[in-house]
Amino acid sequence: MFRLMKVFLTRDSLLTGLTIGLITTALLYFSMGLIIDSLSTIPEWLKNPRTPFLIALIPNVFLFRYYMVNRKQDKTGRGIILVLFVVIFAVFLLIK
């Protein structure tokens, strides 16, 4: 299992980048939802429905830099940044 994950994560492909981007965004978004639900009082800046989505995208910027600069895997980095732009575009178009 771990060997398969290691092979998948070290491969330089657009599909790997898309998968990494989607998984990290989804995990952080759902964890943000759990954190927000557990708060008794929600700060004013966190009441905007766009905020959890945008906070969930922050790790993708660091992953993009890691894959592009440190590992020299351009296709994987492009997949991560594609997820970033598509989610940002969807959030600003669909959520008011």
What range does the domain containing 65 cover? 12-94
Q: How many CA atoms does the CB half-sphere of 33 hold within 13 Å? A: 8
7 domain residue, yes or no: no
1 domain residue, yes or no: no
54 domain residue, yes or no: yes
Q: Has residue 96 got a pLDDT over 90?
A: no
Domain count, the chain: 1
Q: Average pLDDT over the chain, rounded to whole?
A: 90
**For residue 77, what pLDDT is reported?**
94
pLDDT in tens, 6-22: 887 788 999 999 999 99
Distance from C-alpha of 50 to C-alpha of 60, rounded to nearest angstrom: 17
Share of the chain above pLDDT 90, in %: 62
78 domain residue, yes or no: yes
Percent helix, strand, coil in the chain, to 5, is 80, 0, 20
**Overall average pLDDT of the 77-94 stretch:** 94
pTM of the entire structure?
A: 0.86
84 domain residue, yes or no: yes
Q: Looking at residue 40, what DSSP letter applies?
A: S
Tokens 């995208």 belong to residue: 57
**For residue 56, what pLDDT is reported?**
92
